[in-house]
Structure 1
Amino acid sequence: MTIPELRITPVSHAVGKRSPVTCRLKCADACLGPECNTSANPHFRDIASSAISRRSVLGLGVAGAIGLILGDAAGRGQVSPAFAAKPGTAGLAFDPIAPVGRLVDEFTVPAGYRWQPIIRWGDPLFSSIPSFDFDAQTAEAQAGQFGYNNDYLDIIADPSGKTGVLVTNHEYVNPNLMFTPTADAAELRRRGEISKAAMGMAVVEVERRRVGEPWHYVVDGRRNRRVTVETVFELTGPAAGSDLVTTADDPEGRWVKGTLGNCAGGTTPWGTVLSGEENFNGYFAWAADTAAQKRYSGTATTTTETGWEQYDARFDAHDPRFVNEPNRFGYIVEIDPSDPTSTPRKHTAMGRFKHEGANVTIAEDGRVVAYMGDDERNDYLYKFVSKGRYTAATSTGARRRNMELLSEGDLFVARFTGNSPAAEITGTRALPSDGAFDGVGEWIALTRDGESVVPGMSTQQVLVYTRLAADLVGATKMDRPEDVEPSPLTGKVYLALTNNSNRGRTAPLDEANPITGNRYGHVVELTETAGQAGETFGWSILLLCGDPATTASTYFAGFPKELVSPISCPDNVAFDSEGNLWISTDGAPSTIGYNDGLFRVPLEGPERGNVQQFLSVPREAETCGPVIHDREGLVFVAVQHPGENGAVGAQTSFFPDYVAEHGDGTVAAPRPSVVQVWRG
């Protein structure tokens, strides 16, 4: 067999956490481009004392500064009554696995456990759709098949426990592994349409014989659905209809075609699923000739990796008709998995940035609170608090009202303050003299009562150019905020900071981000001190990640480091019924030399901080999801980009089928898949 050359040949990413191919396809080489956040992040008192020009910020007109009142920082407080549930008594017993080397193409689980995919890239959702055929792919077929590179995942069971839905994101594609090489322009365009159909989201019905058994997906399930780059979305909230989001195709600025770069997400108490549009910028050719554009793209581009702009004008933001098209991406998307005919929505009230995801809880007063991370070096942690209050009733009317809660509310960004002298934050991982990296923080309002409170920016500008608004109020630059979720048992909030090789260079050290060139990442624990909807919090670093055998001064909440599993680049988090934290990773092969995996971390008692590896994904794959149904002995993960560095004819992974050729002699491709693990 002739082995084709790799068609995507990005330069070395020595400073990044991912493989060069993943960086090119997933985030458009963000770590090699210019820093998007060049702000000095002055405190508000410094901003208010100087004239602020919207022209210098947005390339627009001039407006004066307005007042902004910040809440006082406070010390740690008691746990909210809303989180008074007792820890569960059932748990998931397992012996931690040993780390798996980065060249091993295996899905590894603990002794006594089994695994199998529920659904794979290309599996048909409908009987009218052909079975996956690598050599006969079409856009029409892919639009009815399970998409590529599944990321966020949830398994939502119906009351019987025997049926339910699987909901996942499809973040991006890899043409190297999807197609054989070609230089034919017509064929490349045809493949571009297949790629559009392979992205977005999927809703798939699942069933099983009895509770506790593995699931199987249902062809022709009544709730089965694919959402793609061509699906129409409704814009909601204050920025909908503004001049910042209108285009030639949508002069009203209320209907957006497609969703892009869907990364993590969250499931709401009313049964809808949230999806974060993350690395959307790489899909557009745009001038980046204003500060607002540069803050999201970093640099000007005339071509993209997909090439869509060559035949679909809406991806060419150089075209005056579509200069606003990028402004229509970068939001939290909400989809109703129970109704395949419903129109999904993008919520502008929750801000526009590179959303990792959004996770919702109910505050003590009934308002909805959503936590969100902006996944880029030196960007920010956000919180949204709804204006309306959640209704626990199960009627159709109550659910409809709940589905409006994310369309109106207040948006906040976090500022962290350490409690140790600056001289003790040395960048070496050495703990301060008080024995912990910790302090207090405040949630700084960007909008309040539905109106901007950012000097010189209208409400619409704050919600479309949210990063600039956060710059102006002095938010704390963080080490790539990824997933952020509140514990359903304690209400404490856990923030995964995956890494930041530029910490100490483009952003100064601080106690919340204390490691120079933070290669392995860390996890921060927040305690809201005025309730979930309040504006102050306490915080401490739970984990300083790395391999204790090779990395000096790792930290695991005080647990003996020689007893923990090595962990690097925390990405997504979840909880089990006992309140344990589960962490999936993205980047371990490039940092500590092991395949990415899923880890359990107790948060209470003598085992607090004891990182234990549960599973390892195959070579060059990322662990996404995860979903922990420990009372049933079930764990689910989405395995994204297995064998990412390979190409057709030169595969580096054969997950999940582990065959090099089919029976007819055709090449087998690695297939991103949703995997379930169970005792048996």
Structure 2
Amino acid sequence: MTNPQRTQGRADSSPWHRLLDRQLTRRGALGTVAATAAAAALPLTLGDAGAVSNNGAPILADPQALPPRSVPPFRAIAPGNADTLTLPFGYRWQTLAPWGEVFTADGREIGFNHDFVGYFPLDLLEGGRSSTDALLTINHEYVNALFVGGDTKNRTKQQIEAEMKAVGVSVVRVRREEGGWKIVPDPRNRRIDALTEIELTGPARGSAAVKGATTVRGSVGNCSGGQTPWGTLLTCEENVDGYAKAWAGSGYEALHQGWVTEIDPFDPAWTPKKRTAMGRFRHENVAVTVAKDGRVVGYMGDDMQDACVYKFVSRGRYEPGNRQANRDLLTEGDLYVANFGNGSWVLLDYEKNARLRDAKGADGKPLFAGQADVLADARASALTVGGTPVDRPEDIEIHPRSGEVYVALTNNTKHGNYFGQIVKFREDGDDAAAQKFLWEVFAVGGPQSGFASPDNLVFDPHGNLWMVTDNSDLVSNPIKAFHGNNAMFFFPTEGPRAGRAHRFATGPVDAELTGPVWSPDGRTLFLSVQHPGEDSESLEALTSTFAAKPGTRIPRPTLVAIEGFPGWGGA
């Protein structure tokens, strides 16, 4: 067995690291590093935001002007099991927006189990790229009933209401001030939860597939997401079926969930929209870009064993500067599923694909009556037309330099794939709207690489890949003893060290690290710490006390802000 930390030693002793160490020891308070080349880089226009990959968030530096890096800007750390967030020398973190913190004028609290984080510079709509003042959107995937209500078996009406208010999305203004990041009062601070009114758009709107609904209540199962070039959030609804039993009697309807919901963080008056043209399945995220002809493309994964990878291509074309029109682009479009056997995209269209019209169930009845049915059960549609079942496709992101699409395949215990892998593909002609692609394996999990179960991905402008892991069986599975707690890793994507994992962060007990996103200048990494202490059997037998309120012991999911990075354009 190869020790991954030992194999990284040669990279850690490079002149770049010696220079970095000298820089780090000179740093004092948070945020004292001056941006270098980033300060001279021309800011991207709003229309260019979709051309870079930072969860779709804008970044200051031009990825094509930055050289690739083959070594990380830190000394890799060893695996660990401590109940804290462990970082390399010279890096610091602070708690920001923990569960339960009041942040709106009407007394609403930050939700539970933070996941995807969207970074929207406060001046984005004016063409700005502020790295110190922003609206953050934070997904809240699900609740831990032990912490939110105390009763895990017999939920009361009050507990169900509390849980419904703890999921969804928080829109939070934050600002970098002396001493660190802080939540700032703002009329745009708000919660979208399981009770919020949301409009259905697209082919399934008003159809029998959604029981005739045109507006529905709530967004739940908010896992990862994406950001659009026109400055809106796409929050993805993943594991939504289990709520029907947990919230019995509340009026919850599972068919109204499992979609991609678009939210405008800048406009509280704009009703959120569920984009049914993008299909219903266990959505992990949406990686958004613009094709050569101006159509908007979104890559998506269905987070389930033996499920598929999808691509949505809008009918309309993106118009830089026309935000009102762009906010309707995801209403109509074509949904495709990936066939990795021949590198093709297969159209999921009832009228154009005879296999969908001819499909019948075990009872001999048609599986689909029209396009609304095809979209409402996109998983069945995908498998019907020959979509390739893969190993839990979670996050998908687009390389900012090459345009290649990276897919985290977390694992598949049905077929003995316990460690997962990351694959990448290139579209034919480097056009996101192409019908063909070529793919390859980028990195494979296991003791030899030091990581297991890749989940959320994010790129920086140099083309470095940063990945967090999703291991739910670290305590019970001896084959993962090498891993320690869930962690975050850095991968070069070019050069001789491409695909080699370097551990940057290790999370607290029972937690996942989720939703990484950079400030535009690359000096702050925002990261969610989800479900610390989740395996606790009772409030008297807690496995974690991470981020607990002073004087208490109950762990809290939270957002953290990590600083100490040299910023874009450094050596």
Normalized against structure 1, the TM-score is what? 0.67
Q: CA deviation at 1:465?
A: 1.7
The residue number in structure 1 matching 2:119 is 155
After TM superposition, the structure 1 = structure 2 runs for residues 636-655 of structure 1, keeping only pairs within 5 Å, are: 636-646=526-536, 647-655=538-546
The residue number in structure 2 matching 1:444 is 346
Q: Deviations over 1:107-164 (max 9, x none)?
A: 10110111111110000012442xxxxxxxxxxxxxx100000111122223243321
Match of 2:91 among 94, 97, 113: 113
Q: Does 2:181 align with 1:279?
A: no
Task: Give the 3 Å change call, closer, same or farther, for CA 501–182 of structure 1 in structure 2.
Answer: closer
Q: Deviations over 1:226-249 (max 9, x none)?
A: 011000110000110112212xxx
Q: CA deviation at 1:451?
A: 8.9
Indicate the SS of the match to 2:496: helix
One-letter amino acid matched to 2:227: T
Structure 1: unaligned runs, 5 residues or longer: 1-81, 130-143, 247-251, 285-303, 316-324, 418-439, 504-516, 549-563
Match of 1:254 among 214, 223, 227: 214
Residues of 2 paired with 1:453 and 1:567: CA distance? Answer: 40
Q: Deviations over 1:60-110 (max 9, x none)?
A: xxxxxxxxxxxxxxxxxxxxxx78951525987211111113xx2111011
Indicate the SS of the match to 2:281: coil
8 Å CA contact retained: 2:290, 2:318: yes
8 Å CA contact retained: 2:261, 2:272: yes
One-letter amino acid matched to 1:153: V
User: Which of 1 and 2 has greater Rg?
Assistant: 1
The residue number in structure 2 matching 1:625 is 515
After TM superposition, the structure 1 = structure 2 runs for residues 126-137 of structure 1, keeping only pairs within 5 Å, are: 126-129=104-107
Q: CA deviation at 1:649?
A: 2.1
CA RMSD of aligned residues (A): 2.3
Match of 2:440 among 529, 537, 540: 540
Task: Give the 3 Å change call, closer, same or farther, for CA 520–670 of structure 1 in structure 2.
Answer: same
Q: Does 2:196 align with 1:231?
A: yes
8 Å CA contact retained: 1:442, 1:537: yes
Normalized against structure 2, the TM-score is what? 0.80
The residue number in structure 2 matching 1:424 is none
Match of 2:300 among 372, 377, 382: 372
Q: CA deviation at 1:628?
A: 3.1
8 Å CA contact retained: 1:117, 1:676: yes
Residues of 1 paired with 2:203 and 2:227: CA distance? Answer: 23
Q: Does 2:73 align with 1:93?
A: yes
Residues of 2 paired with 1:260 and 1:181: CA distance? Answer: 20
Match of 2:454 among 567, 570, 584: 570
One-letter amino acid matched to 1:524: V
Indicate the SS of the match to 1:444: strand
8 Å CA contact retained: 1:90, 1:631: no
Indicate the SS of the match to 1:454: helix
Indicate the SS of the match to 1:606: coil
Indicate the SS of the match to 2:165: helix
Residues of 1 paired with 2:547 and 2:520: CA distance? Answer: 24
8 Å CA contact retained: 1:576, 1:630: no
Task: Give the 3 Å change call, closer, same or farther, for CA 400–452 of structure 1 in structure 2.
Answer: farther
The residue number in structure 2 matching 1:551 is none
Match of 1:387 among 281, 306, 315: 315
The residue number in structure 1 matching 2:31 is none
Q: CA deviation at 1:415?
A: 0.6
After TM superposition, the structure 1 = structure 2 runs for residues 60-99 of structure 1, keeping only pairs within 5 Å, are: 86-88=64-66, 93-99=73-79
The residue number in structure 2 matching 1:326 is 254
Q: Does 2:420 align with 1:521?
A: yes
The residue number in structure 2 matching 1:582 is 466
Aligned length: 480
The residue number in structure 1 matching 2:227 is 267
Residues of 1 paired with 2:559 and 2:428: CA distance? Answer: 38
Task: Give the 3 Å change call, closer, same or farther, for CA 203–449 of structure 1 in structure 2.
Answer: farther
Q: Deviations over 1:553-612 (max 9, x none)?
A: xxxxxxxxxxx5x11110110001101111111107255231111111110112211211
After TM superposition, the structure 1 = structure 2 runs for residues 349-368 of structure 1, keeping only pairs within 5 Å, are: 349-368=277-296
Identity %: 40
8 Å CA contact retained: 1:205, 1:222: no
8 Å CA contact retained: 1:238, 1:450: no
Indicate the SS of the match to 1:496: strand
One-letter amino acid matched to 1:194: A
Q: CA deviation at 1:182?
A: 8.8
One-letter amino acid matched to 2:144: N
Structure 2: unaligned runs, 5 residues or longer: 1-50, 53-61, 123-127, 359-367, 566-571
Q: Deviations over 1:205-258 (max 9, x none)?
A: 011248xx842111x312101011000110000110112212xxxxx5200101
